[in-house]
Amino acid sequence: MLSGTGPADPAEPAVPAGDEPAVPAGDADELRQRARDFLASHDPATLPKLGFLRARFDAGLAWVHYPPGLGGLSLPRSLQSVVDAEFAAAGAPDNDPIRNGIGLGMAAPTILASGTDEQKQRWLRPLWTGEEVWCQLFSEPGAGSDLAGLATRAVRDDAGQDWRVSGQKVWTSLAHRARWALLVARTDPDVPKHAGLTYFACDMTDPGVEVRPLRQLTGEAEFNEVFLTDVVVRDRDRIGEVGEGWRVAQGTLMNERVAIGGGALPREGGTVGIVAAAWRAHPELRTPGLHDRLIRLWADAEIARLATERLRQQLAAGQPGPEGSAAKIVFARLNQELSALELELSGADGLRYDDWSQSRTETVSFVTRGPGYRYLRARGNSIEGGTSEILRNIIAERVLGLPAEPRTDTRVPWKDLPR
Protein backbone atom coordinates (compact mmCIF):
# COMPACT_ATOMS: atom_id res chain seq x y z
CA MET A 1 0.00 0.00 0.00
CA LEU A 2 1.31 3.46 -0.82
CA SER A 3 2.73 5.42 2.06
CA GLY A 4 2.17 8.93 0.77
CA THR A 5 5.57 10.07 2.03
CA GLY A 6 7.64 9.56 -1.09
CA PRO A 7 8.05 11.75 -4.16
CA ALA A 8 4.91 13.38 -5.51
CA ASP A 9 3.10 11.88 -8.46
CA PRO A 10 4.28 13.36 -11.78
CA ALA A 11 0.76 14.70 -12.34
CA GLU A 12 0.62 16.25 -8.89
CA PRO A 13 1.55 19.95 -9.05
CA ALA A 14 3.61 21.13 -6.12
CA VAL A 15 2.02 23.53 -3.63
CA PRO A 16 4.81 25.65 -2.15
CA ALA A 17 4.41 26.34 1.55
CA GLY A 18 3.31 29.88 2.29
CA ASP A 19 2.54 30.63 -1.36
CA GLU A 20 -1.19 31.02 -0.83
CA PRO A 21 -2.82 34.03 0.81
CA ALA A 22 -4.25 33.54 4.27
CA VAL A 23 -8.01 33.19 4.52
CA PRO A 24 -9.66 35.27 7.23
CA ALA A 25 -11.38 33.04 9.79
CA GLY A 26 -15.07 32.70 9.13
CA ASP A 27 -14.90 34.25 5.67
CA ALA A 28 -16.89 31.73 3.63
CA ASP A 29 -16.74 33.76 0.44
CA GLU A 30 -12.96 33.93 0.41
CA LEU A 31 -12.68 30.22 1.22
CA ARG A 32 -15.13 29.41 -1.57
CA GLN A 33 -13.01 31.40 -4.01
CA ARG A 34 -9.90 29.62 -2.84
CA ALA A 35 -11.52 26.27 -3.57
CA ARG A 36 -12.57 27.49 -7.03
CA ASP A 37 -9.04 28.70 -7.78
CA PHE A 38 -7.67 25.31 -6.77
CA LEU A 39 -10.16 23.51 -9.02
CA ALA A 40 -9.26 25.81 -11.91
CA SER A 41 -5.62 24.71 -11.70
CA HIS A 42 -6.30 21.06 -10.74
CA ASP A 43 -8.83 19.63 -13.17
CA PRO A 44 -10.42 16.59 -11.46
CA ALA A 45 -11.37 15.20 -14.87
CA THR A 46 -7.76 14.89 -16.03
CA LEU A 47 -5.70 14.43 -12.85
CA PRO A 48 -5.27 10.95 -11.34
CA LYS A 49 -7.43 10.58 -8.25
CA LEU A 50 -4.53 10.11 -5.85
CA GLY A 51 -2.63 13.08 -7.26
CA PHE A 52 -5.73 15.25 -6.96
CA LEU A 53 -6.39 14.24 -3.35
CA ARG A 54 -2.77 14.79 -2.34
CA ALA A 55 -2.79 18.24 -3.90
CA ARG A 56 -6.06 19.09 -2.17
CA PHE A 57 -4.57 18.06 1.17
CA ASP A 58 -1.43 20.11 0.58
CA ALA A 59 -3.53 23.14 -0.32
CA GLY A 60 -5.25 23.02 3.07
CA LEU A 61 -8.63 22.08 1.60
CA ALA A 62 -8.96 18.64 3.19
CA TRP A 63 -9.84 19.42 6.82
CA VAL A 64 -10.11 23.21 6.90
CA HIS A 65 -10.06 23.28 10.72
CA TYR A 66 -6.72 21.42 10.88
CA PRO A 67 -3.47 23.46 10.99
CA PRO A 68 -1.68 24.56 7.79
CA GLY A 69 0.60 21.80 6.53
CA LEU A 70 -1.70 19.13 7.95
CA GLY A 71 -4.52 19.42 5.46
CA GLY A 72 -6.13 22.54 6.81
CA LEU A 73 -6.10 26.30 7.24
CA SER A 74 -6.92 26.65 10.97
CA LEU A 75 -10.42 27.83 10.11
CA PRO A 76 -13.66 27.02 11.93
CA ARG A 77 -14.86 23.47 11.38
CA SER A 78 -18.22 24.86 10.25
CA LEU A 79 -16.62 26.09 7.01
CA GLN A 80 -15.86 22.55 5.86
CA SER A 81 -19.24 22.35 4.12
CA VAL A 82 -18.29 25.36 1.96
CA VAL A 83 -15.27 23.53 0.55
CA ASP A 84 -17.05 20.19 0.21
CA ALA A 85 -19.89 21.79 -1.76
CA GLU A 86 -17.48 23.34 -4.29
CA PHE A 87 -15.65 20.05 -4.84
CA ALA A 88 -18.88 18.09 -5.16
CA ALA A 89 -20.27 20.55 -7.71
CA ALA A 90 -17.08 20.15 -9.77
CA GLY A 91 -17.40 16.35 -9.76
CA ALA A 92 -14.14 15.98 -7.85
CA PRO A 93 -13.31 12.56 -6.35
CA ASP A 94 -13.67 12.13 -2.62
CA ASN A 95 -11.47 10.08 -0.30
CA ASP A 96 -13.98 7.23 0.19
CA PRO A 97 -14.88 8.26 3.75
CA ILE A 98 -16.97 5.14 4.41
CA ARG A 99 -14.04 2.87 3.51
CA ASN A 100 -11.81 4.54 6.11
CA GLY A 101 -14.33 5.75 8.66
CA ILE A 102 -12.22 4.73 11.66
CA GLY A 103 -9.19 6.53 10.27
CA LEU A 104 -11.02 9.74 9.46
CA GLY A 105 -13.38 9.81 12.44
CA MET A 106 -11.14 8.44 15.19
CA ALA A 107 -7.46 8.08 14.24
CA ALA A 108 -7.00 11.52 12.68
CA PRO A 109 -8.37 13.58 15.61
CA THR A 110 -6.41 11.40 18.05
CA ILE A 111 -3.16 11.91 16.15
CA LEU A 112 -3.84 15.64 15.90
CA ALA A 113 -4.56 15.97 19.61
CA SER A 114 -1.90 13.66 21.05
CA GLY A 115 0.62 12.80 18.33
CA THR A 116 4.06 14.26 17.82
CA ASP A 117 4.80 16.65 14.97
CA GLU A 118 6.60 13.83 13.16
CA GLN A 119 3.61 11.51 13.57
CA LYS A 120 1.21 14.12 12.22
CA GLN A 121 3.38 14.68 9.17
CA ARG A 122 3.83 10.95 8.60
CA TRP A 123 0.27 9.70 9.07
CA LEU A 124 -2.34 12.37 8.38
CA ARG A 125 -1.79 12.84 4.64
CA PRO A 126 -1.98 9.17 3.56
CA LEU A 127 -4.84 8.69 6.01
CA TRP A 128 -6.91 11.47 4.47
CA THR A 129 -6.18 10.45 0.88
CA GLY A 130 -7.23 6.86 1.64
CA GLU A 131 -3.83 5.36 0.94
CA GLU A 132 -3.68 3.94 4.46
CA VAL A 133 -6.75 2.46 6.14
CA TRP A 134 -6.89 2.38 9.94
CA CYS A 135 -8.61 0.08 12.42
CA GLN A 136 -9.01 0.07 16.22
CA LEU A 137 -7.52 -2.55 18.57
CA PHE A 138 -9.33 -1.75 21.83
CA SER A 139 -11.87 -4.44 22.86
CA GLU A 140 -10.75 -7.77 24.31
CA PRO A 141 -12.60 -11.03 25.05
CA GLY A 142 -11.67 -10.93 28.74
CA ALA A 143 -12.40 -7.26 29.39
CA GLY A 144 -15.89 -6.85 27.93
CA SER A 145 -17.15 -3.31 28.41
CA ASP A 146 -14.34 -2.58 30.88
CA LEU A 147 -11.72 -1.27 28.47
CA ALA A 148 -9.34 -0.37 31.30
CA GLY A 149 -9.27 -4.04 32.31
CA LEU A 150 -7.54 -5.11 29.08
CA ALA A 151 -4.73 -7.65 29.30
CA THR A 152 -2.72 -7.19 26.07
CA ARG A 153 0.85 -6.56 27.25
CA ALA A 154 3.50 -4.28 25.78
CA VAL A 155 6.99 -4.86 27.19
CA ARG A 156 9.85 -2.49 26.38
CA ASP A 157 13.12 -3.99 25.17
CA ASP A 158 16.45 -3.33 26.85
CA ALA A 159 17.46 -0.69 24.32
CA GLY A 160 14.23 1.24 24.89
CA GLN A 161 13.55 1.62 21.17
CA ASP A 162 10.94 -1.09 20.65
CA TRP A 163 8.01 -2.68 22.44
CA ARG A 164 6.94 -6.33 22.19
CA VAL A 165 3.16 -6.67 22.19
CA SER A 166 1.19 -9.87 22.80
CA GLY A 167 -2.52 -10.37 23.35
CA GLN A 168 -5.90 -10.72 21.66
CA LYS A 169 -8.34 -8.09 20.42
CA VAL A 170 -11.89 -8.59 19.20
CA TRP A 171 -14.71 -6.88 17.24
CA THR A 172 -12.16 -5.13 15.03
CA SER A 173 -13.73 -3.60 11.93
CA LEU A 174 -11.50 -3.29 8.85
CA ALA A 175 -8.61 -5.23 10.41
CA HIS A 176 -8.37 -7.29 7.23
CA ARG A 177 -7.87 -4.12 5.17
CA ALA A 178 -6.01 -1.87 7.58
CA ARG A 179 -2.42 -0.71 7.30
CA TRP A 180 -2.36 0.78 10.80
CA ALA A 181 -4.26 0.19 14.04
CA LEU A 182 -4.97 2.29 17.10
CA LEU A 183 -3.74 0.05 19.91
CA VAL A 184 -4.10 0.33 23.69
CA ALA A 185 -1.89 -2.07 25.66
CA ARG A 186 -0.88 -2.60 29.28
CA THR A 187 2.65 -1.43 29.99
CA ASP A 188 2.56 -1.53 33.81
CA PRO A 189 0.56 -4.23 35.63
CA ASP A 190 1.76 -3.01 39.05
CA VAL A 191 -0.43 0.11 39.13
CA PRO A 192 -4.24 0.57 39.04
CA LYS A 193 -5.71 -0.46 35.72
CA HIS A 194 -6.38 3.01 34.31
CA ALA A 195 -2.83 4.17 35.05
CA GLY A 196 -0.96 1.28 33.45
CA LEU A 197 -2.04 1.74 29.82
CA THR A 198 -0.13 3.17 26.87
CA TYR A 199 -1.42 4.08 23.41
CA PHE A 200 0.34 3.02 20.20
CA ALA A 201 -0.08 2.85 16.45
CA CYS A 202 0.45 -0.77 15.40
CA ASP A 203 1.66 -1.78 11.95
CA MET A 204 -0.87 -4.38 10.78
CA THR A 205 1.63 -5.80 8.26
CA ASP A 206 3.89 -7.09 11.04
CA PRO A 207 4.31 -10.90 10.80
CA GLY A 208 3.16 -11.23 14.43
CA VAL A 209 -0.32 -9.89 13.57
CA GLU A 210 -2.96 -12.52 12.72
CA VAL A 211 -6.43 -11.45 11.61
CA ARG A 212 -9.32 -13.93 11.68
CA PRO A 213 -12.84 -13.26 10.42
CA LEU A 214 -15.54 -13.19 13.07
CA ARG A 215 -18.93 -14.27 11.77
CA GLN A 216 -21.83 -12.44 13.37
CA LEU A 217 -25.60 -12.67 13.68
CA THR A 218 -26.18 -11.31 10.16
CA GLY A 219 -24.05 -14.07 8.62
CA GLU A 220 -21.37 -11.61 7.57
CA ALA A 221 -17.79 -11.38 8.77
CA GLU A 222 -17.93 -7.63 9.23
CA PHE A 223 -15.65 -7.80 12.28
CA ASN A 224 -12.44 -9.62 13.10
CA GLU A 225 -10.50 -10.97 16.01
CA VAL A 226 -6.83 -10.08 16.02
CA PHE A 227 -4.04 -12.07 17.67
CA LEU A 228 -0.79 -10.26 18.49
CA THR A 229 2.29 -12.44 19.10
CA ASP A 230 5.51 -10.60 19.93
CA VAL A 231 4.56 -7.80 17.57
CA VAL A 232 7.29 -5.19 17.39
CA VAL A 233 5.98 -1.67 17.91
CA ARG A 234 8.50 1.13 17.58
CA ASP A 235 8.61 3.62 20.42
CA ARG A 236 8.35 6.37 17.83
CA ASP A 237 4.86 4.97 17.11
CA ARG A 238 3.74 5.54 20.69
CA ILE A 239 1.00 8.20 20.83
CA GLY A 240 1.19 10.15 24.08
CA GLU A 241 3.40 9.43 27.06
CA VAL A 242 3.91 6.04 28.67
CA GLY A 243 1.04 5.45 31.08
CA GLU A 244 -1.25 8.01 29.43
CA GLY A 245 -3.10 5.50 27.26
CA TRP A 246 -6.39 5.91 29.10
CA ARG A 247 -6.40 9.67 28.59
CA VAL A 248 -5.62 9.37 24.87
CA ALA A 249 -8.19 6.59 24.43
CA GLN A 250 -10.92 8.74 25.98
CA GLY A 251 -10.44 11.28 23.19
CA THR A 252 -10.67 8.52 20.60
CA LEU A 253 -13.85 7.10 22.12
CA MET A 254 -15.57 10.48 22.30
CA ASN A 255 -14.90 10.97 18.61
CA GLU A 256 -16.17 7.45 17.89
CA ARG A 257 -19.49 8.05 19.66
CA VAL A 258 -20.05 11.27 17.78
CA ALA A 259 -19.16 9.52 14.50
CA ILE A 260 -21.70 6.74 15.18
CA GLY A 261 -24.55 8.75 16.65
CA GLY A 262 -23.95 12.25 15.37
CA GLY A 263 -24.29 11.88 11.61
CA ALA A 264 -26.22 14.53 9.72
CA LEU A 265 -29.49 13.25 8.26
CA PRO A 266 -32.35 14.94 6.44
CA ARG A 267 -35.87 14.76 7.81
CA GLU A 268 -37.08 11.14 7.57
CA GLY A 269 -33.52 10.11 6.81
CA GLY A 270 -32.05 6.81 7.92
CA THR A 271 -34.14 4.00 9.38
CA VAL A 272 -37.13 6.18 10.22
CA GLY A 273 -37.54 7.00 6.53
CA ILE A 274 -37.47 3.31 5.62
CA VAL A 275 -40.11 2.51 8.23
CA ALA A 276 -42.33 5.42 7.15
CA ALA A 277 -42.14 4.15 3.57
CA ALA A 278 -43.11 0.64 4.73
CA TRP A 279 -46.10 2.09 6.59
CA ARG A 280 -47.29 3.88 3.48
CA ALA A 281 -46.76 0.79 1.31
CA HIS A 282 -48.77 -1.61 3.52
CA PRO A 283 -52.10 -0.05 4.55
CA GLU A 284 -53.53 -3.53 5.10
CA LEU A 285 -51.15 -4.09 8.04
CA ARG A 286 -51.95 -0.91 9.90
CA THR A 287 -53.43 -1.09 13.38
CA PRO A 288 -54.03 1.65 15.97
CA GLY A 289 -51.25 0.17 18.11
CA LEU A 290 -48.72 0.18 15.28
CA HIS A 291 -49.79 3.71 14.36
CA ASP A 292 -49.11 4.91 17.91
CA ARG A 293 -45.65 3.27 17.84
CA LEU A 294 -44.80 4.84 14.50
CA ILE A 295 -45.85 8.35 15.57
CA ARG A 296 -43.89 8.09 18.82
CA LEU A 297 -40.75 6.83 17.08
CA TRP A 298 -41.09 9.37 14.26
CA ALA A 299 -41.27 12.19 16.84
CA ASP A 300 -38.27 10.72 18.73
CA ALA A 301 -36.28 10.53 15.49
CA GLU A 302 -37.09 14.14 14.65
CA ILE A 303 -36.06 15.30 18.13
CA ALA A 304 -32.83 13.32 17.81
CA ARG A 305 -32.15 14.84 14.40
CA LEU A 306 -32.56 18.38 15.71
CA ALA A 307 -30.51 17.66 18.84
CA THR A 308 -27.76 16.12 16.73
CA GLU A 309 -27.68 19.21 14.53
CA ARG A 310 -27.17 21.34 17.63
CA LEU A 311 -24.43 18.97 18.81
CA ARG A 312 -22.69 19.29 15.44
CA GLN A 313 -22.77 23.08 15.76
CA GLN A 314 -21.17 22.80 19.21
CA LEU A 315 -18.50 20.48 17.85
CA ALA A 316 -17.65 23.02 15.18
CA ALA A 317 -16.23 25.18 17.94
CA GLY A 318 -14.06 22.56 19.68
CA GLN A 319 -13.44 18.98 20.77
CA PRO A 320 -16.29 16.51 21.39
CA GLY A 321 -17.42 16.04 24.96
CA PRO A 322 -19.47 13.44 26.83
CA GLU A 323 -22.65 14.76 25.18
CA GLY A 324 -21.77 12.51 22.23
CA SER A 325 -22.59 9.54 24.47
CA ALA A 326 -26.22 10.69 24.62
CA ALA A 327 -26.43 10.95 20.83
CA LYS A 328 -25.04 7.45 20.47
CA ILE A 329 -27.50 5.94 23.00
CA VAL A 330 -30.45 7.55 21.25
CA PHE A 331 -29.21 6.34 17.86
CA ALA A 332 -28.94 2.74 19.12
CA ARG A 333 -32.38 2.71 20.75
CA LEU A 334 -34.13 4.26 17.77
CA ASN A 335 -32.48 1.94 15.27
CA GLN A 336 -33.47 -1.12 17.26
CA GLU A 337 -37.07 -0.05 17.87
CA LEU A 338 -37.59 1.18 14.31
CA SER A 339 -36.18 -1.96 12.72
CA ALA A 340 -38.46 -4.07 14.95
CA LEU A 341 -41.47 -2.03 13.83
CA GLU A 342 -40.47 -2.41 10.18
CA LEU A 343 -40.31 -6.17 10.63
CA GLU A 344 -43.93 -6.18 11.79
CA LEU A 345 -45.00 -3.93 8.93
CA SER A 346 -43.34 -6.29 6.44
CA GLY A 347 -45.66 -9.14 7.30
CA ALA A 348 -44.47 -12.52 6.01
CA ASP A 349 -41.68 -10.82 4.05
CA GLY A 350 -40.10 -9.92 7.37
CA LEU A 351 -39.23 -13.59 7.86
CA ARG A 352 -37.10 -13.65 4.73
CA TYR A 353 -33.38 -12.95 4.73
CA ASP A 354 -31.51 -11.86 1.63
CA ASP A 355 -28.02 -13.32 2.11
CA TRP A 356 -26.53 -15.64 4.74
CA SER A 357 -23.15 -15.95 3.03
CA GLN A 358 -20.09 -15.05 5.06
CA SER A 359 -19.11 -11.99 3.08
CA ARG A 360 -16.20 -9.78 4.12
CA THR A 361 -18.10 -6.50 4.02
CA GLU A 362 -16.23 -3.27 4.70
CA THR A 363 -19.24 -1.04 5.16
CA VAL A 364 -22.61 -1.27 6.88
CA SER A 365 -25.54 -0.14 4.75
CA PHE A 366 -29.01 -0.31 6.24
CA VAL A 367 -30.49 1.16 3.06
CA THR A 368 -29.44 -1.49 0.54
CA ARG A 369 -30.46 -4.54 2.59
CA GLY A 370 -33.79 -6.02 3.64
CA PRO A 371 -35.76 -5.62 6.88
CA GLY A 372 -34.39 -8.89 8.29
CA TYR A 373 -30.83 -7.63 7.97
CA ARG A 374 -31.70 -4.25 9.50
CA TYR A 375 -33.37 -5.93 12.48
CA LEU A 376 -30.43 -8.26 13.17
CA ARG A 377 -27.67 -5.70 12.55
CA ALA A 378 -29.31 -3.10 14.78
CA ARG A 379 -28.79 -5.45 17.76
CA GLY A 380 -25.12 -4.46 17.66
CA ASN A 381 -25.80 -0.72 17.84
CA SER A 382 -26.09 -0.80 21.64
CA ILE A 383 -22.72 -2.59 21.94
CA GLU A 384 -20.36 -1.02 19.37
CA GLY A 385 -18.77 2.28 20.26
CA GLY A 386 -19.39 1.69 23.97
CA THR A 387 -22.28 -0.24 25.45
CA SER A 388 -25.40 1.71 26.33
CA GLU A 389 -24.92 0.77 30.00
CA ILE A 390 -21.43 2.31 30.09
CA LEU A 391 -22.59 5.41 28.23
CA ARG A 392 -25.43 5.95 30.72
CA ASN A 393 -22.83 6.00 33.49
CA ILE A 394 -20.82 8.58 31.56
CA ILE A 395 -23.89 10.79 31.09
CA ALA A 396 -24.86 10.45 34.75
CA GLU A 397 -21.42 11.32 36.07
CA ARG A 398 -20.00 13.78 33.53
CA VAL A 399 -23.11 15.51 32.20
CA LEU A 400 -25.60 15.38 35.07
CA GLY A 401 -23.02 15.49 37.86
CA LEU A 402 -24.48 12.52 39.75
CA PRO A 403 -22.33 10.57 42.23
CA ALA A 404 -20.12 7.91 40.69
CA GLU A 405 -20.84 4.24 41.23
CA PRO A 406 -18.95 2.80 44.21
CA ARG A 407 -15.95 0.87 42.88
CA THR A 408 -13.03 -0.94 44.45
CA ASP A 409 -11.19 -2.08 41.31
CA THR A 410 -9.71 1.34 40.54
CA ARG A 411 -7.47 1.59 43.59
CA VAL A 412 -5.51 -1.67 43.50
CA PRO A 413 -2.82 -2.85 41.08
CA TRP A 414 -4.21 -4.44 37.92
CA LYS A 415 -2.25 -7.65 38.57
CA ASP A 416 -4.18 -8.18 41.81
CA LEU A 417 -7.63 -7.94 40.24
CA PRO A 418 -9.61 -11.19 39.92
CA ARG A 419 -9.88 -12.42 36.33
Is 256 an active-site residue?
A: yes
Strands 134-137 and 180-186 turn out to be parallel
Q: Please tell me whether residue 258 adopts helix, strand or coil conformation.
A: helix
Contact between 248 and 116 (Cβ < 8 Å): no
Other Cβ atoms less than 10 A from the Cβ of 324: the count is 27
Question: What is the distance between the alpha carbons of residues 303 and 299, in angstroms, rounded to a whole number?
Answer: 6
Helices 323-345 and 288-315 meet at what angle, rounded to 10?
150
For residue 184, the surrounding DSSP H or E stretch is: strand 180-186
CA 182 to chain centre: 11
Which one, of 418, 416, 345, 415, lies nearest residue 375 by Cα? 345
Cα 362 to Cα 44, 224, 343, 383: the distances in Å are: 26, 11, 25, 18
Contact between 130 and 95 (Cβ < 8 Å): yes
What is the dihedral sign for C-alpha 270, 276, 281, 286?
Answer: positive
Q: Considering 132, 256, 337, 342, which one is annotated as catalytic?
A: 256
Contact between 129 and 53 (Cβ < 8 Å): yes
Which residues carry out catalysis? Answer: 256
